[in-house]
Structure formats: C-alpha cells, structure tokens
Structure 1
C-alpha cells in the first residue's frame, strides 16, 4: 500500500468520520487499509490498558477479516487466534433474547404474558404485574444491576424474586439488570419445557451455525479458552452465579461471533422461525435519549457520531434508571441503523456492532475488562472507514 493511502486511511480512522468517509476513501477499502485501520485503533489501547490479548473480527460485504493481537495467556505465552475462546459477558443477553424470540416464533411463548403465569412460584409477588417483555427490556420496575450477594445462587434466586419490591411502575423506567434479563431467559426456557443451557447448546447455537460457542467450555476445548485478567492483572475467569448462563455466560471465538453478527445482518439463510426471532430482537420497543431498546441489542439511527454512540454506551446509561418512551406499535428494524451490545466479566471485555444496510460489522474480544469508551472508539473508527 502507498504511504499516502495509508495516511488517508489512518486519518479517517482517527477522526471517526461517518458522513465524510467518501472524501477519505473513494474506492472500497482494501484488505491492507482495513488491517492498517484496525492496528492503528487497537495497538495504543492495548498498550495503555495493559491488555494481554485481543481478537478483532470485521465483516465487510460478506467477507470476514480476522486480526489477532497478543497472548491468550501470559502464563503460557500462547498467541490469540480467531479460534481463541473469550468470555463475552452481557453480549450473552442477545443470545438469550434470540432464544426467547425463537420461543415466541415457535408458538411456545408470548412476550406479553405475565411472569408469574409461566413460573407459578412467583404467583402473589410483584411478577403478577410484570410481563416477559418488560423483563427482557429492563423495565420490570427497578431490578438491580446484579443479584445481592446473599441471593446470587440458583437455589436462592426464586426467593429473592418472591420478596422483591419494585421502585417504579412496571414499564415506566429502564434500569439495566442481570436479574431482569436473566429471568427473561429463564422464563423462555420454562415455556419451552427444557433447561436453558440445553436449549442454547442443542437448539439455538446449532440453528445459528455456531459450533465453537459454549456456556460451559468442554474439557476438549479448554486449551482454546483464553485466560482473563482483572484490573490488578491477576488471572481470573467468570464464576457461577444466579442466572449466569442467561445474563453473561457465553464463551465464543472471533470466528463464531462474526458468524453470529452475519446471521443477524443476513438472516435469510436461516429457517423461518429463526429469521422471525432475529427480527424480534431488532425491533425497537422504546427510546431513551438517542438509543432505541431492542431485545438484547440496542439500536441507533445511522449514520451516528462517536459522541452519540459513547452516550448510548455510557456508565450513566448502564447504572441509572431512565424514564422510557414506548413505541406504539413497536418498530421493525429501520433501514439505516447501527445495532450494538457491550459485554464484560471480571477478566474480559467485548463489543459487537454492525450496520446491516452497509453490510459492515465488527467484533472486539479482549482478555481484560477494559473501558467501554475505548471499545466504542475502536469500533467507530473501523466502521467509519468501512462505510465508504
């Protein structure tokens, strides 16, 4: 690649221009330009945040590109590859939402059903008045980000829900919550008559064509499982907890994660109920500021500025309650939309974003929980170059 072309690519990347990328790259970006853009965005962040390893996967007009950086484990020095397994934290919620939407498409579940109608143990509790959809969109009435420590186990979670008292009227406020989305997935599995893990591993993942995605990594795959590192750079991996599979339990590779993004952008190759399920997860149910809440996924009008995308993925959006404006009726996926989700565990950080109308998408997987603004900036700069 000529130096001038590289400079132009990096300039586009650095400034994250969306509307003006045509002035930067007249033709479709070459493989070298994509690689240069990814490297320029990723390398300084890895150095600043002391990230051991990162896998970045990009899809452009149906073509997959994989870029691997650093070590899957500092202890062994094993390099990251596109097959390295990473914890994806809350991106797992989009898989859970897809399973629930598949249950609805298969006639097993209605999102308007009250939670206690599906789970009799919740009868006589606040969940007599809370719908499956409200759980799936964090609007049950103030369920917290995490389970309290004394309720964070499978045998204690039902008791927690039975005694929980809402802060807000159901449907009025969004408060991002693992227990909320987790119960949503649990109820979906109840409606399908099988355990959640079994439905994910034997039904959903195979139907999506994902053969290296796990809730519990099998012994035969453990050599591919990256070592995560916490803020003190000590080795950690995610531990068990109440509704962990539903809320943050997926481990996957860049190859499978990009295949999942492709399935979301072009679901026409999937069977009809799965196409319907994906459409349901991309449906807009309400808005908070410039973010539209889907099921699992979050949606934005496209093109979008970096500042808008950072605001939608901010700490404030994740940690504080926001009054919602419901869309009546719910809106199908718009023509020009960016769809995204972040995910974190104690030792891993992930991000996925894609623009179906442009046929572009990016997956970022790292074995450290590094700041979400850094993830968004990497993705925005790369997608800006791809959106010529």
Structure 2
C-alpha cells in the first residue's frame, strides 16, 4: 500500500511538472514575437494557473548585456503602484485610522487648505483612489530640472503650494479623470498620518508580510545591481525615475518573483488584517461614470467581464502589467525594460489563454527604413502651445521626440514624413517644403489635429 501511495504521489508530481511545462511553452509562443520584432529589449513574465506557477525571461538586460532577465530582475512598475496605494488605504481602514469618506484635507497639515468648488463636498480618500477627485493628472508646478526624471525634485513644499491654490473644475465624484497627483497625494497622506514616508509604509504593511523582499521605492546596492536597464520603445537606453513625493502614484520597483507573490495574495488573500484589506480593495467602489470608464476598486481597474482586476504602469524606460481573475484562479504579470504599451496587449493575450481561449502569436509589421540624413531634416524644437514644445533629435539612427514635461520616445515611420508612437495612439506628420526644410509638425491624436511650429 505504501508503494502504491508513493507511486500515486510521484505520478501527481510528474503530472504537475508536465502541466507547468505545457504552460511555459504556451507563454513562450505568445511572447516570442515581441522580442523577435525588437518591440521589447527584455522582459520577465510570471503566470499563475491554479496550482501551476511559471516565471519566464526573454530578450536581454540591455544592448551591452546579453544576460536574459529572470524572476529576480528588478523593474520599475510605474502606475501599478496605485494598486498598492489602494491596499494601503484599505489597510488603514481595517486598523480604524481612516474611512473611505475621510476628507483628504483632514490629513493635511493645518497650514494647508484645499479649495472647494462652490458648495461642493470635500475630496474624500476614496475619490483619490478611484480617480474621481477632480484633481488634474499632474500638478501644474511640476517643472523638473531633468525632464527625463520628472518627479525627482518635486518636494512637499511644492505639493502644498499647489494644493492651496488649485481651483477645481469639477466637484468630487462628478467625473472619472486619471490622476497621478490624486493617487500620489493619497500615498503621502497615509504615510504622513503614520509619521513615516511612503516607501517605509509600503514595506511595513505589504512587502514584509507578503515576503516581497525586492519590492521597494528605494533600492539597496545589491538590488540596484539587478535593476534592468531602461529603454524607450525601439531600444534606445532611457533613464530611471526617482520620487521625492507622489511615489504612491508610480514609484515602486519590484521583480516578477515578488509580483507573483502579490498576485497570489489577490487570488487567495491571507486570513489576517492584510487579507481583509486586499478584499476591501478588490471590491467595486466606483461604477463607470463616462462611456469609456472602467469600474474601479481601490486602485484596481475592473475589466468589462466584471471579474478581472488589472492595472498597467509605464515610466520613462519600463512597462508593467498585472491581470488577476479569481473566477478562473489565474494571473499574469509582465515586467519589461522597454516603455511600450504593446506589453498590455501581450498580458491580455496571456490572460485569455489562461482562461481557456486559443490565442495565436501576434504578427508585427516590418519597420520602414528611413536614412539618418532624412531624419536630420526634422531635428529641432516645435511649439504646439505656449509652454509645450516638441524636441526632435536623432540618436543611434533613430528619431526621438520629447514633449515638455514628458519622457522622450522613439517614433516609427509609416512614410518619410509620417511617424507614429508605439507608447500611445498618436501620429506626427512633418511638413517639409520643396527645399527639404521642415517648418512644422502636425500631431494627430484622439481625432484632433494640432500643428506645432518650428521655433529653432
């Protein structure tokens, strides 16, 4: 009988290995075109399907480092940080320190007063977590010394100055409008209440209990050595982002091994206060307001199927995505060292595959070749509105475009004069006269055309 039990257990183990191998093969098949087309330089993918967990690395750490990323490779996860901030809000609720309807200004220093629109109610904490606060995407006094590291020098004094003078256009709860400022402010308020900083609060309340040793805002020296080199779409090396304030909007770094632990905790929350907080954040707290809005938990977007929770994140040289579905007991995490929204498409493909759909590898169109000499006609600065200037450069035979206050991205040719972004749905058309001189560039985005005139 003992031999029979041992044989049965052995067969079950072998069956589990075979299932994991099959799952890895399916992920490999979907991931391969993204590396082969050079859409991403490198990435790590982690998946959970029932009891099977797989972590796979693809591509390379950088053009100069051919090592393949793995589960311990660290990336910036960008706006996925907002999910952690939502759970920190729920955790503060469980501990009785705040409620969803606590006014945000109650947690501000006495010297800081937030204006209200007419006789509207105050901005409450749940407004900050569900993008219904009426706050803008970014504060208008964000003027980075280094545009490629935009949050590095934004401090608490600047944040307080903005909050005291801001005049809201909308009442809280009137509109869903994505706000890095709102989520970042929420993180600052929760940390300030505990007389600590956001990174320390994250470690204490989430990372340490879930044994996520590499999930941090500030990395130690050994972790920095495992931080993947950042790239813009197309493979040009970019810059890391640092946060003084507003880290709750996008300042977390992590690796795939840690993020799978996080995903597992969303699927099967621990039976403690943190598990209770995870479940609170998972619940729907805001129904869609506009036609294109998603329902929201605390930090989480709720997919149209009503079951999948998801978020993505992008900084100057990284893109990340997480999709979790309790109904099918599955999750996918993708961390890439390339700033491209194509990662979201891959994450959706893998999530559908985990749910039972038959998915085919994506086919990428070949990139048209344009000579560097012709690209150099476009180099210069083009003003689209006062204070917003496109800066066009050529580097490593690639055309790069930056907009004031935003990262620089590579654009790709559809023709010699029409170029498109991979990070957003937008196209640039360079206006060239008969002599070959470019005097303006037209931005096509969201059905609107805007012309930027050359200023130098």
Same fold (TM over 0.5): yes
Deviation, structure 1 residue 148: 4.2
Match of 2:275 in 1: 275
Match of 2:338 in 1: 368
Question: Against the structure 1 CA distance between its residues 121 and 235, is the aligned structure 2 distance closer, same or farther, given a 3 Å change threshold?
Answer: farther
The answer to whether residue 111 in structure 2 is matched with residue 121 in structure 1 is: yes
Q: Which deviates further from its counterpart, 153-162 or 281-290?
A: 281-290
Equivalent residue in structure 2 for 1:342, among 302, 305, 312? 312
Work out the CA distance in 1 between the residues paired with 2:51 and 2:37: 32
Deviation, structure 1 residue 46: 2.6
Residue-by-residue CA offset, 1:274-302 (whole Å, 9 max, x unaligned): 11211121121222247211111111253
Q: How does 1:51-62 map to 2 (within 5 A)?
A: 51-62=40-51
Question: Against the structure 1 CA distance between its residues 30 and 170, is the aligned structure 2 distance closer, same or farther, given a 3 Å change threshold?
Answer: same
Segments of 5+ residues of structure 1 without an aligned counterpart are 1-27, 303-335
SS at structure 1 position matched to 2:259 = helix
Say if 1:208 and 1:270, in contact at 8 Å, map to a contact too.
no
Work out the CA distance in 1 between the residues paired with 2:139 and 2:33: 32
Say if 1:84 and 1:254, in contact at 8 Å, map to a contact too.
yes
By relative contact order (CA 8 Å, sep 6+), the higher-ranking structure is 1
SS at structure 1 position matched to 2:340 = coil
Deviation, structure 1 residue 145: 4.4
Equivalent residue in structure 2 for 1:227, among 206, 226, 229? 229
Question: Against the structure 1 CA distance between its residues 29 and 79, is the aligned structure 2 distance closer, same or farther, given a 3 Å change threshold?
Answer: closer
Work out the CA distance in 2 between the residues paired with 1:149 and 1:243: 11
Work out the CA distance in 2 between the residues paired with 1:380 and 1:179: 27
Work out the CA distance in 2 between the residues paired with 1:50 and 1:146: 32
Work out the CA distance in 1 between the residues paired with 2:271 and 2:225: 31
Deviation, structure 1 residue 259: 0.6
Match of 1:209 in 2: 211
Deviation, structure 1 residue 48: 3.1
CA RMSD of aligned residues (A): 2.4
TM, length-normalised to structure 1:
0.78
Question: Against the structure 1 CA distance between its residues 339 and 146, is the aligned structure 2 distance closer, same or farther, given a 3 Å change threshold?
Answer: farther
Say if 1:142 and 1:173, in contact at 8 Å, map to a contact too.
no
The answer to whether residue 297 in structure 2 is matched with residue 294 in structure 1 is: yes
Match of 2:88 in 1: 99
Say if 1:52 and 1:71, in contact at 8 Å, map to a contact too.
yes
Deviation, structure 1 residue 177: 0.9
Q: How does 1:1-388 map to 2 (within 5 A)?
A: 30-119=19-108, 120-123=110-113, 125-126=115-116, 129-145=122-138, 148-150=141-143, 153-154=154-155, 155-231=157-233, 233-241=235-243, 243-267=245-269, 269-271=270-272, 273-288=273-288, 289=291, 291-302=294-305, 337-371=307-341, 374-388=342-356
Instruction: Figure out how many residues of one structure are paired with residues of the other and give that number.
Output: 325
SS at structure 2 position matched to 1:347 = coil
Residue-by-residue CA offset, 1:150-206 (whole Å, 9 max, x unaligned): 385113111011111111111110110110101111111122232222111233210
Residue-by-residue CA offset, 1:282-339 (whole Å, 9 max, x unaligned): 121222247211111111253xxxxxxxxxxxxxxxxxxxxxxxxxxxxxxxxx6111
Match of 2:391 in 1: none
Question: Against the structure 1 CA distance between its residues 266 and 47, is the aligned structure 2 distance closer, same or farther, given a 3 Å change threshold?
Answer: same
Say if 2:241 and 2:315, in contact at 8 Å, map to a contact too.
no
Work out the CA distance in 1 between the residues paired with 2:114 and 2:168: 14
SS at structure 2 position matched to 1:156 = helix
- Which structure carries more helix by proportion? 1
SS at structure 2 position matched to 1:364 = strand
Say if 1:353 and 1:361, in contact at 8 Å, map to a contact too.
yes
Residue-by-residue CA offset, 1:199-254 (whole Å, 9 max, x unaligned): 11233210122111111111122221101112463323333345342111111111
Work out the CA distance in 1 between the residues paired with 2:64 and 2:140: 32
Match of 2:452 in 1: none
Work out the CA distance in 2 between the residues paired with 1:39 and 1:344: 23
- Which structure carries more strand by proportion? 2
Match of 1:316 in 2: none
Deviation, structure 1 residue 60: 1.1
SS at structure 1 position matched to 2:23 = helix
SS at structure 1 position matched to 2:28 = helix
Work out the CA distance in 2 between the residues paired with 1:49 and 1:147: 36
Work out the CA distance in 2 between the residues paired with 1:165 and 1:243: 21
